[in-house]
Structure 1
């Protein structure tokens, strides 16, 4: 999940922002430095509500984590999502459209129960916030959808739910970087590397697993450190480059991008100074 403000934090780098900068430095600037809000999108409302249903499900005692309980919770989870994100209201013109989206959520929950049996799993965390510091002092943070614990040996499994399409084989290693990021977080913060991590693509009913090894942790930590160094340089120079590509079609910031004839706003100095604290100065 996105590192949305549940509480006030010192600045950190999340996987989503790491990925955002790598895709397009200017997009990172507009979202994190200028803090230009993105318009609400239906797929985000859908994904947030699905995550809420599953979070609520794993709050129940194991015998109560039934298919029926999950389906019954959908209206309440949807209302909670709308209360937490009032900007989603503009996505719907009628109550019928809200009902239609809840129907999509029910379909996804049906599919989820064909993948896992929640009553058999020992939950060690849901929507768990984890913070850590890399070997070069970069403060990182993530919200992990779910952590399971093996009752026999105490090993951990990290689970991240996805409501989008499963990536094609040539892009799956990029998708697995999110799991490497979470594995690094747990290794540094909890002193325990998860035995398994997995992306669960709910609509496709497919699982993309990774059993993290030392080279996975080393590689993602190197990527974090190198990427943050590049972000620091851009912050200090007050200049973020553009990176034009296929994803530009879906970018919500085109009106501020020179690649599309837009004008990039000035960066607030206090925000720059705040973000520069992501690397510890100790």
Structure 2
């Protein structure tokens, strides 16, 4: 078995050989997971380190697991409300977590996703290749569906959507097809799918005629994994993707990577290096955009009128307007714009940032206030 002593990880040795970082590690596992094989195809060191030590989960990872749990329970026939209650208790979610989780679910949910289900959170165990010399591979499949004699194997992705090019570098979809064809002799057609919670899918179709090719790729990967694990040395692939690697702090190759000399100008990079960096940046851009949207939704739900107790009216020209009355007439987006204004004046700049429907609401409100003010002024002058 691989050692799980974190102190061993911190003291692992490495060497730089032929332009590659080679990391030494102790022990050999008696089995690997599908996620291990998939990570191995991306970076062998990441796969090995992830198995050696369980890195602390990030808030995003906890929410991802909670989402998967809800999808599993709904797939087993429970309502969203029932499933959510169980997830809140199981993962100790707070109010903010629940808001984010509900936004994720509402933007993703479609009743069609939960029809024709054969199984959810399907556990499997196979030996690759078959026989005593093979390696045991264990995994879970989020959802299996049967539609028109075609098997759909679905994996939920709670991270940012990525390109078909990146998906081709991962082994996961091929692994699912390999598993099903190996264990179901009557299988003729399989479609494996990445279903991204943030929107979008990547699908790959396989017929029984594709099986020999898949078998060759998967078994070659497993053989390479066995060689690496038995040798006690793994080759690292440090690069931009290391930023979000859960075990980077234990990886000496990463430490060398971030302290290396400045990278070459873009014009001097290879086409493959540029494509990898562009793909990484697009994924990062999507993740940041989704994060901004989620935070904005949370903040819109936390508008606190008590902050404006000392300024209970705002000025437009010569008119004093009830601040609270105005806010109650606006959409959440409009309220956010008004609340973020630097002063208590409604300026042209503020108008330009308001949704069109709120601009019309404010114009009508201002006209109503102006007429009321003039009437009161006339009544006062007549006294």
Q: Fold conserved (TM > 0.5)?
A: yes
CA apart distance, 1:248? 1.7
Give distance in 2, aligned partners of 1:31 and 1:13: 11
- Give the TM-score normalised by the residue count of structure 2: 0.52
1:185 to 1:203, Cα distance in 2 relative to 1, 3 A: same
Give distance in 2, aligned partners of 1:166 and 1:239: 32
Tell me which of 51, 59, 62 is aligned to 1:42.
59
* 2:62 match: secondary structure: helix
1:58 corresponds to 2:75? yes
Give distance in 2, aligned partners of 1:172 and 1:128: 22
Give distance in 2, aligned partners of 1:188 and 1:250: 34
Runs of 5+ in structure 1 lacking a partner? 1-9, 83-94, 263-282
CA apart distance, 1:182? 0.9
1:79 corresponds to 2:89? yes
1:220 to 1:246, Cα distance in 2 relative to 1, 3 A: farther
* 2:233 match: secondary structure: coil
* 2:238 match: secondary structure: coil
Give CA-to-partner distance per residue, 1:159-199, whole Å, 9 cap, x none.
22111121124323235x42221111111123325532222
Tell me which of 172, 178, 202 is aligned to 1:178.
172
CA apart distance, 1:154? 4.3
**Runs of at least 4 residues off by over 6 Å:** none
1:219 to 1:37, Cα distance in 2 relative to 1, 3 A: same
1:148 corresponds to 2:167? no
Mapping of 1:231-250 within 5 angstroms? 231-250=225-244
1:162 corresponds to 2:154? no
Tell me which of 242, 245, 257 is aligned to 1:251.
245
Tell me the equivalent position of 2:182: 188
User: Hey, which of these two has a bigger chunk of strand by percent?
Assistant: 2
Partners of 2:174 and 2:218 within 8 A in 1: no
Give distance in 2, aligned partners of 1:241 and 1:174: 17
Tell me the equivalent position of 1:15: 34
For the aligned residue pairs, the C-alpha RMSD in angstroms reads 2.6
Partners of 1:186 and 1:194 within 8 A in 2: no
CA apart distance, 1:116? 4.1
RCO comparison, higher one (Cα < 8 Å, 6+): 1
Tell me the equivalent position of 1:107: 103
- Give the TM-score normalised by the residue count of structure 1: 0.69
Partners of 1:130 and 1:189 within 8 A in 2: no
Partners of 2:181 and 2:208 within 8 A in 1: no
Report the number of matched residues: 224
1:228 corresponds to 2:238? no
1:172 to 1:101, Cα distance in 2 relative to 1, 3 A: same
CA apart distance, 1:72? 4.7
Partners of 1:162 and 1:199 within 8 A in 2: yes
Give distance in 2, aligned partners of 1:213 and 1:49: 34
1:38 to 1:27, Cα distance in 2 relative to 1, 3 A: same
Give CA-to-partner distance per residue, 1:41-96, whole Å, 9 cap, x none.
11211111011111111111xxxx6xxx21453132221234xxxxxxxxxxxx7x
Tell me the equivalent position of 1:90: none
* 2:162 match: secondary structure: coil
Tell me which of 46, 68, 86 is aligned to 1:27.
46
Tell me the equivalent position of 1:203: 198
Tell me the equivalent position of 1:270: none
CA apart distance, 1:118? 4.9
1:189 to 1:11, Cα distance in 2 relative to 1, 3 A: farther
1:108 to 1:254, Cα distance in 2 relative to 1, 3 A: closer
